[in-house]
């Protein structure tokens, strides 16, 4: 049964929303019901046994903890914004990473959360409200149309870019590919290739645009895709522009074992980060650009 997914073996993760609750209180509270431990890599992330159903848990309902996977929680942590900074979340809805940024920034400074899709803006606003983040300004519209010279962005020091992607790193989507009715035959292969090409074109444009904001010194790019075309190829194509704007790739989570595919020098050892859809149960990709040169590593 294709839908007898490894999901049943997947540890559950919750991210403690430190704007509302401290880690020890969360450990105490969840520890009354579950075996819970701190994640070894991502601050504020707690690991629970597979199959724990937390959807209706009071801490989830009141926004003290968020049901957020490990890979997804690594993105804002890799960007590592400081309290007081101004940060732009370029493709923000439903807002899990926006809320995480706000917590990392201790509610200080400012986050501008840009989102194009009207329906999803509502979900973004709901997430922000639930998180209690006092420092988020929702900006409806197309990230690509934002003018980097607009005074609104003159102090933006970091950009989180988590653009639309194929979602091929999520288990359900991956298994869908194995169903006979899905993706079979040359016609749908072509459609899939076209879809990936379109996504990659947008992803490259968005990353190039992020590089053009004058005060930005850190950019994190992430997808929940396993496809090279949306990941290493996007980064490789943007490297010359990044270099000419003074950006270099940094090493997010230096202790993490899985890096990028061998597409350019350093991609498989150092610079990029992949999570494995089988071993980690979700396939994510993270690249971190920084403006000042090495040696620079994220502290996590
Ligand atoms: N970062 C979000 C989170 O962690 O909750 C998930 C972001 S989702 C992968 C990508 C989002 O980008 C979608 O909500 C989509 O509507 C939005 N989007 C797509 N194109 C956009 C554009 N040109 N400008 C702004 N947002 C865009």
Atom of ligand 1 nearest to the CA of 164: 10
Catalytic amino acids? 224
Note the residue count of the chain.
300
- Segments of 151-224 assigned E as strands: 156-161, 218-223
Instruction: For residue 199, report the distance from its CA to the centre of ligand 1, in Å.
Output: 12
pTM: 0.90
The structure tokens listed for 214 are 């004058």
Ligand 1 pocket residue status of 282, Cβ below 6 Å:
no
Residue pair 12/50 in contact (Cβ under 8 Å)? The answer is yes
Instruction: Please state whether 63 falls in left (phi above 0), alpha (psi between -120 and 50) or beta.
Output: left
pLDDT for 219 equals: 98
CA-nearest residue for atom 10, ligand 1, is 164
Residue pair 193/223 in contact (Cβ under 8 Å)? The answer is no
Does 297 have pLDDT greater than 80? no
Ligand 1 pocket residue status of 97, Cβ below 6 Å:
yes
Instruction: Please state whether 141 falls in left (phi above 0), alpha (psi between -120 and 50) or beta.
Output: left
Residue pair 29/69 in contact (Cβ under 8 Å)? The answer is no
pLDDT tens for each residue of 226-250: 999 999 999 999 999 999 999 999 9
Ligand 1 pocket residue status of 114, Cβ below 6 Å:
yes
Greatest mean pLDDT among 69-83, 163-177, 256-270: 69-83
Does 264 have pLDDT greater than 60? yes
Percent residues over pLDDT 70 in the chain: 89
Does 111 have pLDDT greater than 80? yes
Mean pLDDT over the full length of the chain = 89
pLDDT for 263 equals: 86
CA-nearest residue for atom 16, ligand 1, is 117
pLDDT for 185 equals: 44
Residue 184: pLDDT band (50, 70, 90) is very low
pLDDT tens for each residue of 131-158: 999 999 999 999 999 999 999 999 999 9
CA-nearest residue for atom 12, ligand 1, is 91
Ligand 1 pocket residue status of 96, Cβ below 6 Å:
yes
Pocket test for ligand 1, best of 87, 94, 116, 167 (most atoms within 8 A of CB): 116
Residue 299: pLDDT band (50, 70, 90) is very low
Does 177 have pLDDT greater than 70? no
Whether the predicted interface score ipTM is above 0.95: yes
| Distance (Å, whole) CA 165 – CA 149 | 27
CA dihedral 143, 146, 149, 155 (to 10 degrees): -50
Instruction: For residue 295, report the distance from its CA to the centre of ligand 1, in Å.
Output: 32
| Distance (Å, whole) CA 70 – CA 142 | 28
Please name every residue paired with 221 in a beta bridge, in sequence order, or none if there are none: 161, 287
- Segments of 90-247 assigned E as strands: 110-115, 136-140, 156-161, 218-223
CA-nearest residue for atom 11, ligand 1, is 91
CA dihedral 107, 111, 115, 118 (to 10 degrees): 50
Q: Which of 33-37, 90-94, 112-116, 172-176 has the lowest mean pLDDT?
A: 172-176
Residue 162: pLDDT band (50, 70, 90) is very high
Does 77 have pLDDT greater than 50? yes
Pocket test for ligand 1, best of 92, 201, 202, 206 (most atoms within 8 A of CB): 92
């Amino acid at each position: 049964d294709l839908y007898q997914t490894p999901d049943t073996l997947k540890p559950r993760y919750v991210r403690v929303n430190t704007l509302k609750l401290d880690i020890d209180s969360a450990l105490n509270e969840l520890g009354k019901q579950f075996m819970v431990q701190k994640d070894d890599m991502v601050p504020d992330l707690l690991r629970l046994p597979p199959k724990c159903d937390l959807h209706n848990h009071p801490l989830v309902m009141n926004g003290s903890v968020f049901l957020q996977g490990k890979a997804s929680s690594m993105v804002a942590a890799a960007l590592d914004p400081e309290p007081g900074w101004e940060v732009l979340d370029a493709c923000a809805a439903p807002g899990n990473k926006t809320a995480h940024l706000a917590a990392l920034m201790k509610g200080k400074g400012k986050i501008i959360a840009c989102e194009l899709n009207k329906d999803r803006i509502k979900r973004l606003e709901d997430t922000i409200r639930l998180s209690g983040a006092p420092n988020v300004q929702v900006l409806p519209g197309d990230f690509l149309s934002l003018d980097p010279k607009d005074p609104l962005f003159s102090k933006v020091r970091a950009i989180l870019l988590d653009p639309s992607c194929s979602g091929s790193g999520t288990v359900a989507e991956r298994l869908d590919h194995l169903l006979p009715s899905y993706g079979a035959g040359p016609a749908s292969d072509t459609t899939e290739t076209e879809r990936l090409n379109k996504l990659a074109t947008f992803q490259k444009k968005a990353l190039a645009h992020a590089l053009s904001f004058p005060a930005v010194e850190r950019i994190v790019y992430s997808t929940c895709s396993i496809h090279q075309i949306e990941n290493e190829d996007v980064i490789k194509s943007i490297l010359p522009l990044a270099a000419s704007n003074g950006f270099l790739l940094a090493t997010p989570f230096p202790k993490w074992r899985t890096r990028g595919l061998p597409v350019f020098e350093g991609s498989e050892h150092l610079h990029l980060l992949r999570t494995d859809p089988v071993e980690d149960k979700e396939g994510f990709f993270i690249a971190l650009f920084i403006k000042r040169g090495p040696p620079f590593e994220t502290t996590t």
